[in-house]
């Protein structure tokens, strides 16, 4: 099951309130596993999405556990949060993950940074023990799918990173990027992308300012740039004054770049003290953080152009729509990879789910054969006063087991084949368990899809669960039957 919200389901203001830092994301995954119906959980928290991927025992119980954990972790009341949540379950959850890891659900369609984010989320889950065999295998597979999509299709040509989209405005605001002075605030993954992209596009100089000077130094030195510690008195103000383009992505709570600091920097940039009469050269400020690093009031200062994730995302959507058939073909190829890989993974999982039943069936048959051999020995001792000759006994035992294997071969092959059918496969396996009276606990496969979908048919829909009967809200304890109104 996947429960989450993203730029596609929630406005920036809600995403900002629900944003979690790395530590809080880890805590959410561990807390989710404390739910009665959640066995495993991993949290993907990026600048434009917050999602919990989980292995659950039931749809309703898992949804209630995850919804409550998300509300507690974000501090957003559950009724308000539910308005923006989407849910993917069973097959749909796998396909959604593969779509996300390929960058097909990103604000900048086709971007590859999400690969690293998913890899980091998996590593944190492994370290914290919230990821078990199911999610470990699924996320490892997802990473391979993402690499394949970028290698075998034109997805990289379709993609346009947020950093590149923002820097494309530099020419209109400050002139050619070549020779421009770029300031990067922060030293995380997005900041690293900003530094390397600005350097690749020919920026005249790159300066990194970060709370931890060592991290700023490592990042800046990689491109021959400068670095400063954010806590150094007046450092941010002076670097802002010198910069033509500012990119900020710290992941901090609260505004790192406020209007007062930028106003003072603008005065220095004009060559005078605060309140001076000089005219400062224009500046482009790109806020790539969530929660936002830059106070909205900065965009109202004369000579400052401020762009945040909401504006860049809208622009990227319009750009993708206008790039024509070539991009559409690249995206179609990538989606075909996702569909193929999701079908293959699900078929493998259903086949693996049959294994306990097959093992139990063969074990039962072997036990019956061994019991008959023992009866044969007893009868021979009773009537002839002796056991079978060892060679004869071995030949009889081998013949009996060959007959049993031959009789079971076709049913077991057919069972594995039929199990690949998501609609009827579990029913076939259940029929075998009933017919042969196999242990329902020891052999029950870890599949709850069919029962859950029968209980909650709306779970088949995508991209979210939508029904007019309020079932999702009821599952979360937000609405009673008969309240009316559509619930997403």
Among candidate residues 80, 88, 6, the one with its CA nearest the CA of residue 458: 88
Task: Quote the pLDDT of residue 193.
Answer: 83
- The per-residue pLDDT for 410 is 86
Question: How high is the pLDDT of residue 352?
Answer: 75
- Burial (0-12, 13-18, 19+ Cβ within 10 Å), 321: exposed
How far, in Å, CA of 102 to CA of 104, rounded? 5
Element (H, E) at 171: helix 170-174
Question: What are the contacts of 360-363 at 24+ separation with CB within 8 A?
Answer: 360/433, 360/438, 360/439, 360/442, 360/443, 361/408, 361/411, 361/412, 361/432, 361/436, 361/438, 362/408, 362/412
Is the domain defined by 2-158 classed in CATH 3.30.460.30? yes
**Which one of the listed residues 33, 47, 102, 249 is annotated catalytic?**
47
Distance CA 248, CA 401 (A): 70
Which pLDDT score, from 0 to 100, does residue 449 have? 37
Quote the pLDDT of residue 326.
59
**What's the length of the chain?**
488
Q: Is 47 a catalytic residue?
A: yes
Identify the pLDDT of residue 443: 39
- What are the average pLDDT values for consecutive 10-residue runs of the chain, which has 488 residues? 93 88 93 95 91 96 95 94 94 95 84 89 96 95 95 76 82 90 88 89 93 90 92 89 92 84 91 56 90 90 90 70 63 92 88 79 87 84 74 86 88 77 71 78 39 39 39 46 42
Query: In sequence order, what are the beta bridge partners of 305?
Result: 284
Q: Note the pLDDT of residue 310.
A: 79
DSSP class per residue in 409-436: HHHHHHHHHHHT-TTTHHHHHHHHHHHT
What's the sign of the alpha-carbon dihedral 65, 66, 68, 72? positive
Sequence ranges of the domains in the chain: 2-158, 162-308, 345-454
Third-level CATH fold of 162-308:
Rossmann fold (3.40.50)
* DSSP code, position 101: H
Question: Looking at residue 354, what is its pLDDT?
Answer: 78
Query: Could you give the dihedral angle defined by the CA atoms of residues 140, 142, 144 and 149, in that order, rounded to the nearest 10 degrees?
Result: -170
């Amino acid at each position: 099951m996947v429960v989450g919200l993203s730029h596609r389901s929630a406005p920036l203001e809600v995403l900002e309130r629900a944003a979690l830092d790395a530590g809080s994301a880890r805590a959410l995954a561990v807390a989710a596993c404390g739910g009665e119906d959640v066995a495993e959980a991993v949290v993907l928290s990026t600048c434009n999405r917050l999602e919990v991927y989980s292995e659950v025992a039931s749809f309703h119980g898992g949804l209630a556990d995850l919804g409550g954990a998300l509300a507690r972790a974000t501090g957003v009341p559950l009724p308000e949060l539910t308005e923006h949540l989407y849910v993917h379950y069973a097959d749909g959850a796998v396909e959604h993950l593969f779509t996300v890891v390929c960058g097909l659900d990103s604000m900048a369609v086709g971007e590859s940074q999400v690969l690293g984010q998913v890899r980091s989320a998996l590593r944190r889950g492994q370290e914290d023990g919230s990821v078990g065999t199911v999610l470990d295998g699924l996320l490892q597979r997802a990473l391979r799918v993402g690499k394949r999509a970028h290698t075998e299709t034109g997805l990289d040509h379709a993609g346009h990173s947020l950093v590149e989209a923002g820097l494309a405005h530099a020419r209109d605001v400050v002139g050619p990027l070549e020779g421009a002075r770029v300031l990067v605030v922060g030293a995380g993954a997005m900041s690293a992308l900003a530094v390397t992209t600005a350097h690749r596009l020919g920026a005249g100089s790159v300066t990194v300012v970060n709370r931890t000077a060592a991290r700023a130094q490592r990042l800046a030195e990689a491109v021959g740039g400068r670095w400063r510690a954010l806590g150094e008195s007046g450092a941010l103000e002076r670097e802002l004054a010198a910069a033509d383009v500012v990119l900020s992505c710290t992941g901090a709570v609260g505004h790192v770049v406020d209007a007062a600091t930028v106003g003072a920097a603008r005065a220095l940039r004009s060559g005078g003290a605060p309140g001076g009469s000089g005219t400062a050269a224009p500046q482009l400020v790109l806020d790539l953080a969530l929660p936002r690093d830059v106070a909205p009031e900065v965009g109202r200062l004369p000579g400052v152009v401020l762009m945040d994730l909401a504006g860049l995302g809208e622009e990227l959507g319009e750009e993708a729509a206008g790039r024509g058939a070539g991009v559409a073909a690249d995206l179609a190829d990538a989606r075909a990879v996702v569909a193929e890989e999701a079908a293959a993974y699900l078929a493998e999982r259903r086949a693996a789910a049959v294994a306990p039943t097959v093992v139990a069936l063969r074990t039962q048959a072997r036990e019956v054969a061994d019991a008959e051999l023992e009866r044969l020995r007893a009868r021979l001792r009773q009537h002839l006063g002796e056991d079978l000759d060892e060679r004869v006994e071995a030949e009889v035992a081998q013949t009996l087991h060959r007959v049993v294997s031959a009789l079971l071969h076709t049913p077991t092959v057919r069972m594995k084949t039929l199990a690949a059918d998501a609609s009827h496969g579990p029913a076939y396996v259940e029929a075998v368990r009933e017919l042969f009276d196999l242990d329902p606990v020891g052999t029950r496969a870890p599949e709850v899809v069919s029962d859950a979908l029968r209980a909650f048919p709306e779970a088949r829909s995508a991209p979210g669960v939508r029904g007019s009967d309020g079932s999702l809200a009821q599952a979360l304890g937000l609405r009673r039957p008969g309240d009316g109104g559509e619930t997403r």
